[in-house]
Chain A
Amino acid sequence: MSARREPPGAATCLFLSCLLIACGPADPFGTAEPFQVRGGQFFKGALPTASVDAPAVTFLSMQNAVVLPGQAAKRLSARANTATSSLALALSDSGTGYWVVPLGPEDPQYVGEFTVESSIDFGLSLAEGPHLIRAVPIDEQHRAGAEAQTSVCVASRIPDNQHVCNPDAVVPDAVISLQWDSRSDVDLVVTTPEGREVSPKRPTVVPTDTRPTAEAAVIDRDSVFACQEDGLRQEDLVFQNRPVGAFRVAASLFDLCQAPGVRFRLRVFEAEGEGAERHLVEKDSFVGQFTPIEATGGLTAPVLITTWTF
């Protein structure tokens, strides 16, 4: 008898519990959001809309409006009046919700106004170009006041001299970009038509005894150097002036950093257009992978990916 009674009771309880659990928020911590406010509380959904006049944002600003790809801990400063209890923050056209931060102490220079100093992390997945940071003041009765905004611009992940944020900046003529998908020390290695090997250890195309100019092609970083995560996992050889000749493009696995393997993608970009309309266009891309046996600390020759002729 008892055996026949158990399944319905267990099944009913399991069903109800699954239902209750499933009603919970998908991500109460906002860990997958491309716009994150440190110390803030994440809420899923649209920013509250203004319903009262009393709470108000009196100041909203970022110190530097240009956001580098994946940049973290950018400072946002704000002030709000005494009727405000907290500030709701969101990035326009990005993310699935907003963040709430409580107000800090009263600003001694602006009596009756309370400060908010927040650190903001911008995800790598954010689209390049201009965005708006939206701030909505909320009072102790959870009512929202009028929205304030400040603009930011997310720079391109492919180095373009920040042309996407400043049209007056001149786009480089060509870029060879290597990206990979795990925390591994991978290096881009390019051999020039003159036979000079360029890598993060020797990042410029000019000979060692020559002082490189600002226009000299250079590899922009040594990504995941010594297995130190930099969030980008990307190295770019940037040509400010158009190169000529055949370049042998290779990749070297220095250290897998305990990853089981790493897949990479090489892309070649060349500038097209004139003036403000000039921009980088992807000409070709190549994919490949490294296995643990290929992690040799740079002792073996780099793996040739392509020979690219400009």
Chain B
Amino acid sequence: MMVAALTALLSGSVFAQVEDVDGGASSGEVDAGEARVLPAERGPSLFTSITDGLAVTGYAQAQYEMHQDSVEQLRQGSNVLNQDRFLLRRGRVRVTGTWEYAQIVLEVDGNTTRAPVFGFRKAEVSLKWRASTDPGALALMLTGGLFDVPFGAELVESPRYRPFMERSLASRALFPGEPDLGVRLSLSWSFLRLTAAVVNGEPIDEPSAFTLRDANKGKDIVFRAGVDTKPTEHLHVTGGLSGLTGWGFHAGSDVSKGYVEWRDLNEDGQVQQYELTPVVAASVDPSVSFARWATAIDAAVSLDWRWGTTSLSGELVLATNLDRGFLPADPTVLSVDARELGWHVRLIHEFQKWAVIGVRFDQYNPSIDFFDNRKGKLIGSVQTVSTVSPLIGFKVPHGRLYLQYDVIVDRLARGTDGVPSDLRNDTFTARLQVDL
């Protein structure tokens, strides 16, 4: 093996398919095969040595959304309640530099999803090694920087190729954004795909003050062990087992000053002496780190047949204290761990590259042990959110046009009997994507 490795290092012709070890998933985002490789098109130049191996790709997604619960009002804190709007969901440009023993991926994104923003979505620097040019040969890649967290199959699926508009609710709740900062080791050998990473645990888009920083020393350790194989020419099977263990952070509070509080006890709008209450200065509330973990299993099978390609896939995830996007978990407040359960199944059929239809059913429970207060008694209740997402898409020149309707069944409202019931918040999205 060592001889082979040394031979490969000296041969200078390996890594024709470096994307095999990117992220460990079958649908990693390194799409050099479709990219414009500059030297090949431009011919020899003085800068060939610099641009050799560089590829520029990109895409933009413009869309219109409609939400049943849109209201022309502002929420407390001036957040907009209306969600019926046009938006640039993603506008990304990626530069990939692939050389014999190294690789760099820089991807920037501009969007108007929450506010007009522009920034890095990926900044990966990698060292790599492949035993031979054989596609099934042992390959290793060590990556540092900003990369997609290798947990499950859905999280590392590129939004450029994902048929559905967004990831399932469980995935978005546990990982508000795909990329995080850290170091990753990927291994590919035959049908095996192994990836392990150590990350800060504060991914992009996390609604906290510590996004892409880290408030605690403890890091999140993530791994995925999977397979990617084609038993026959027309059948493609992938699957894997993932795990995560790490530390969340409960932010404490600063020292406060004392003040006088007025409470209008008799509600007359006038100040009486008995309505004044002194609030003494409070000492610092220390921050606390808490443990969290998650495990997931994913599987996918796709079949090429007479009428196109049909694929069936699914993923199941069980986690504790990992929700960071939907109902953020913080066991230090309630002294009770939040156990999260989510899963999805999706069926997609692609008609010979010109159209696609599909449906996804996903379900997420942000707290398996949720209790509702009824007549002063705590009663076990469910907070499960179920979503059925039918989809139809068409290929257009240099891109695609997709339409998706999300039927969302949750417990975010109350019925006339006071019991939690479904909030009417279905959504419709029309998206046009054009690729660079």
Which residues of A line the B interface, CB within 8 A? 2, 5-6, 9-10, 13-14, 17-18, 20-21, 24-29, 31-32, 40-41, 43, 48, 63-64, 66, 68, 71, 74-75, 85-88, 100-106, 114, 138-142
Q: How far is the CA of A86 from the CA of B372 in the complex (A)?
A: 14
Chain B residue with the shortest CB-CB distance to A16: B405
Selected A-B contacts with CB under 8 Å, 7 pairs: A2-B394, A2-B395, A5-B394, A27-B73, A41-B413, A43-B416, A139-B417
Interface residues of B (CB under 8 A from A): 66-69, 71-75, 81, 266-269, 354-355, 373-377, 392, 394-396, 401, 403, 405, 413-419, 423-428, 430
Q: Which of A21, A41, A100, A114 contacts B66 (CB 8 A)?
A: A21
Are B267 and A28 in contact, CB atoms less than 8 angstroms apart?
no
| B416:A48 contact, CB within 8 angstroms | yes
Chain A residues with Cβ below 8 Å from B373 are 102, 104
User: Contact at B68–A21, with CB atoms within 8 Å?
Assistant: yes
Cβ–Cβ contact A14 & B418, under 8 A: no
CB neighbours of B81 from chain A (8 A): 29, 31
CB A32 to nearest CB in B, in angstroms, measures 6
Partner of A31 from the list B73, B376, B417 (CB cut-off 8 Å) is: B73
Which 6 pairs, one residue from A and one from B, show the smallest C-beta to C-beta distance?
A105-B376, A86-B418, A102-B418, A24-B68, A17-B428, A41-B414
Query: Which of A31, A43, A106 is B375 in contact with, Cβ under 8 Å?
Result: A106
Q: What are the residues of chain A within 8 A of B417 when measuring CB–CB? A: 85-86, 138-142
Check if B73 sits within 8 Å of A32, measured CB to CB. Answer: yes
Which residue on A lies nearest to B357, using beta carbons? A9
Chain B residues with Cβ below 8 Å from A68 are: 269
Q: In the complex, what residues of A have CB within 8 A of residue B72's CB?
A: 32
Beta-carbon contact of B426 and A105 below 8 Å: no
Q: Do the beta carbons of B394 and A6 come within 8 Å of each other?
A: yes
- Contact yes or no, A64 B375, CB < 8 A: no
* B contacts with A: majority SS: loop
A71-B403 contact given A9-B392, A21-B428, CB 8 Å threshold: no
With the chains together, A162 CA to B419 CA distance in Å?
Answer: 40
B405 CB contacts on chain A under 8 angstroms: 13, 17, 20
Contact assessment for B376 and A100 in the assembled complex, using a CB-CB cutoff below 8 Å: no
Complex Cα–Cα for A75 and B267 (A)? 9
| B68 A29 Cβ-Cβ under 8 A | no
Nearest to B355 among chain A residues (CB) is A2
Note all chain B residues with C-beta closer than 8 A to A101: 418
Q: Note all chain A residues with C-beta closer than 8 A to B424.
A: 24-25, 28
- Which of B71, B266, B396, B426 contacts A21, CB < 8 Å? B426
Q: Which of B73, B269, B373 has the most CB of A within 10 A?
A: B269
A141 to B416, CA, bound (A): 9
- Give CA–CA (A10, B268) in the complex, Å: 59
Establish whether residues A32 and B416, one from each chain, have CB atoms under 8 Å apart when the complex forms: no
Known contacts A29-B69, A86-B418, A102 near B374 by CB under 8 Å: yes
- Residues of B near A29 (CB, < 8 A) are 69, 71, 73, 81
Instruction: Write the nearest CB–CB distance from B113 to chain A, whole angstroms.
Output: 20
State whether B376 touches A106 (Cβ < 8 A). Answer: yes
A125 to chain B, nearest CB (A): 14
- Given A17-B403, A18-B66, A142-B415: A104 touches B376 (CB 8 Å cut-off): yes
Query: When chains A and B are docked, how far (Å) is the Cα of A41 from the Cα of B412?
Result: 10
Nearest residue, chain A, Cβ from B263 = A73
Q: How far is the CB of A98 from the nearest CB of chain B, in Å?
A: 9
Other CB < 8 Å A-B pairs besides A21-B426, A101-B418, A114-B376, 14 of them? A18-B66, A21-B68, A21-B427, A24-B424, A28-B71, A31-B73, A63-B266, A63-B267, A74-B267, A87-B418, A102-B418, A138-B416, A139-B417, A140-B419
Across-interface contacts of B376 in A (CB, < 8 A): 104-106, 114
Most interface-central of B68, B73, B417, B425 (chain A CB within 10 A): B417
Interchain CA distance A68-B269 in the complex, whole Å:
7
Minimum distance in angstroms from A101 CB to a CB of chain B: 7
Q: How far is the CA of A3 from the CA of B354 in the complex (A)?
A: 10
Listed residue (B71, B267, B405) with the most chain A CB atoms within 10 angstroms of its CB: B267
Chain A neighbourhood of B425, CB < 8 A: 28
Min Cβ gap A65→B in Å is 9
- B414 lies within 8 A of A100 (CB): yes
CB distance from A257 to the nearest CB of B (A): 13
Contacts of B377 in A (CB 8 A): 105
How far apart are the CA atoms of A43 and B416 in the complex, in Å? Answer: 8
A18 to B418 alpha-carbon distance, docked (Å): 30
**Contact of B426 with A71 in the complex, beta carbons under 8 Å:** no
Q: How far is the CB of A118 from chain B (nearest CB, A)?
A: 12
A144 to B374, CA, bound (A): 18
Q: Which residues of B contact A10 (CB under 8 A)?
A: 394, 401, 403, 430
Tell me the nearest residue of chain A to B430, going by C-beta: A14
Q: Which residues of the other chain, B, contact A87 by a CB distance below 8 angstroms? A: 418
Known: A66-B268, A86-B417. A31 touches B71 (CB 8 A): yes
Please name the residue on chain A nearest to B266 by beta carbon: A64
State in angstroms the CA–CA spacing of A139 and B417 once bound together: 6
Check B392–A85 contact: CB distance below 8 A.
no
A41 to B417, CA, bound (A): 11
Contact, CB under 8 Å: A24 / B426:
yes
Which B residue's beta carbon lies closest to that of A136?
B416
Please measure, in the bound complex, the distance between the C-alpha atom of A141 and the C-alpha atom of B419, giving whole angstroms: 11
With the chains together, A23 CA to B414 CA distance in Å?
Answer: 19
Distance, CA A29 to CA B83, complexed state (A): 14
Min CB gap B275→A, angstroms: 13
Interface centre among B71, B375, B377, B430 (most CB of A within 10 A): B375
Tell me which of A10, A32, A141 has the highest count of chain B C-beta atoms within 10 A of its own C-beta.
A10
Q: Which residues of B contact A140 (CB under 8 A)?
A: 417, 419
With A2-B355, A10-B403, A104-B376 known as contacts, the answer to whether A27 contacts B71 (CB < 8 A) is yes
Report how far A43 CA is from B423 CA in the complex, Å: 11
- Taken together as a complex, chains A and B put the C-alpha atoms of A100 and B414 apart, in Å, by 8
Given contacts A13-B392, A114-B375, contact A20 B426 (CB under 8 A): yes
Chain B residues whose C-beta falls within 8 Å of the C-beta of A64 in the assembled complex: 266-268
Q: Complex formed: what's the CA distance from A5 to B352 in Å?
A: 15
Q: How far is the CB of A12 from chain B (nearest CB, A)?
A: 10
CB distance from A4 to the nearest CB of B (A): 11
A74 to B376, CA, bound (A): 22
Question: What is the distance, in angstroms, from B430's C-beta to the closest C-beta of chain A?
Answer: 6
Given known A-B contacts A6-B394, A27-B73, A29-B81, A102 and B267 have beta carbons under 8 A apart: no
